[in-house]
A and B are shown apart, each in its own frame.
Chain A
Amino acid sequence: MDKPDLELIHNEDTDTRVNQPQQVEMPFAIVDGESMTELPSDLYIPPVALKVFLDTFEGPLDLLLYLIRKQNLNILDVPIADITEQYVNYINLMKELELELAGEYLLMAAMLAEIKSKMLLPLFEELEDEEDPRAELVRRLLEYERYRTVSEELNKLQRLERDIFITGVESNHLAKPIELPEIALQELMVSFQDVLKRAEMFTSLHLLKEPLSVRERMSTILEKLKNKDFLDFTELFDFKEHKTGLVVTFLAILELMKESLIEIVQAKDFGVIHVKALISDNEKITEH
């Protein structure tokens, strides 16, 4: 993996951050029995250097692994406040370049801050089972590292077009030309008709958008049946309407049946179907 071998530039900003919290005075870590009151300045990556990193990292996990390795950080002693700052710098740079990516780094920065805040809380003995707040992050880092490592191994495998090339000879002396099936004009027509049919289906789909209400149609039918003994079933349909309209009328008739507002009678087999209103003229049609 080609990581830029950057000399971490000593950045003056780190030292001039006088408004650092009082924490600075306290040992924030004990390394080999020595208490550390200051962060090693080379933990800070100046924005200029970060720009170089842009192309080389594959995400927050990758960057974090790099920081841990390169700077001899113990993953369990990551100075999270500092790393968070580096992340924010990184994100600022990325804003212009890849906003989508920046989000993932931002999430990681938030996670780091959360871990730090959890760690500041005292540990109670009764909560001993509680996992170290860093465990989940560490687990993810380790899991990612496995695949990152193995992808480097995969890259080393002998592969075509780089290490190995397929040999070949021209074999243009094909005795048998490839026979393409003949297509009769008629088949083409049939296929085209299918296409037309399908296209038609789509046009009728649009009709569904017409504001047709079954309720409204029920009223219309009752209106038609008013003052009449009965009507021929077919008379209820308006054949100028599209299929959808006819269906709505049919649904309306069924609905009226269900609500016992009409009666449908057929005098003999295959005979004319008559529709009759079951309410008298003076009765009011009540809408539901």
Chain B
Amino acid sequence: MHNDKLKNIIEAILLASYEPLSVDKLFKIITSKEKTSKSDILSAIDNLEKDYVGKDIEIAKVASGFRIQAKSEIGDYLNIMFADRTPRYSRALLETLSIIAYRQPVTRGDIESIRGVSVSTSIMRILTERNWIRIIGYRDVPGKPAMFATTSEFLDYFSLQRLEELPDLPEKKEPMDLDLELDDQSINKQELSDNSSASVVVDSDLEFNTPTVED
């Protein structure tokens, strides 16, 4: 098939589809009518990408495949258009989602022990209904609690291809390093101990002095 024709077909298919399509899926669709190959499809997508340079739409690769989307630069305009339809997610929901994403598979108990509050049923329902999380099994402990994991729809939504692309989880700190760091997270311990002007006095076991590390 002629390259431009393939490119146009792929463009139309991606535009008509409201969910990302993988190369496999595109191949299946197209090959039912025309002879083509996966590498042809990939290079057609490449060409299509070049077509969009300088425009406000683009081809993005996310976990479930390719999709054509409006660039984030014009998100502001679209937000005006969709004013009331932009979903807002609470901090509680985002925290819950983060714990599931980074610690999966997790049970409700795991989430509760990290957040210190009970898991809201409505949050879990929203996450499940949006297809961002699903139950992938049951932990073999009393009560057989369900274990949750994220889905590829979750990655698609956040424009990611793999879980590894998530922002890095801050490094785990042990209480030992703590006494100097909490007032200002950005100052690391090395700096503090080198800096003699920071009046940190460490004396007896029981008296934990408040270092005056202020901004």
Q: Which A residues fall within an 8 A CB radius of B?
A: 1, 29-33, 58-62, 68-69, 72-77, 100-101, 104, 108, 119, 123, 132, 134-135, 138-140, 142-169, 171
Q: A59-B116, A147-B114, A161-B87 are in contact. Are A166 and B67 (CB under 8 A)?
A: yes
Q: Would you call B156 and A160 a contact (CB within 8 A)? A: yes
Q: What residue in chain A is nearest B68 (Cβ atoms)?
A: A167
Among A30, A142, A161, A164, the most chain B Cβ lie within 10 Å of the Cβ of A164
Q: A30-B207, A157-B158 are in contact. Are A58 and B75 (CB under 8 A)?
A: no
Q: Would you call A146 and B170 a contact (CB within 8 A)? A: yes
A54 to B116 alpha-carbon distance, docked (Å): 16
Q: A151-B95, A154-B97 are in contact. Are A164 and B69 (CB under 8 A)?
A: yes
Partner of B114, one of A123, A132, A143: A143
Q: A74-B210, A163-B75 are in contact. Are A155 and B179 (CB under 8 A)?
A: no
A155 to B93 alpha-carbon distance, docked (Å): 10
A83 to B100 alpha-carbon distance, docked (Å): 31
Partner of B116, one of A77, A132, A144, A171: A144
Contact segment of B1-9, B78-86, B135-143: B78-86
Q: Would you call B102 and A160 a contact (CB within 8 A)? A: no
Q: Report chain B residues within 8 Å CB of A140.
A: 113-114, 116
A168 to B20 alpha-carbon distance, docked (Å): 11
30 contacts between A and B (CB under 8 A): A30-B201, A30-B209, A31-B209, A32-B199, A32-B212, A58-B91, A58-B95, A59-B116, A60-B116, A74-B209, A75-B182, A76-B208, A143-B114, A144-B114, A144-B115, A147-B98, A147-B99, A148-B95, A150-B166, A150-B167, A154-B97, A154-B101, A154-B158, A156-B167, A161-B87, A162-B86, A164-B70, A164-B75, A165-B78, A166-B69
Q: Report chain A residues within 8 Å CB of B156.
A: 160
Q: Report chain B residues within 8 Å CB of A171.
A: 16
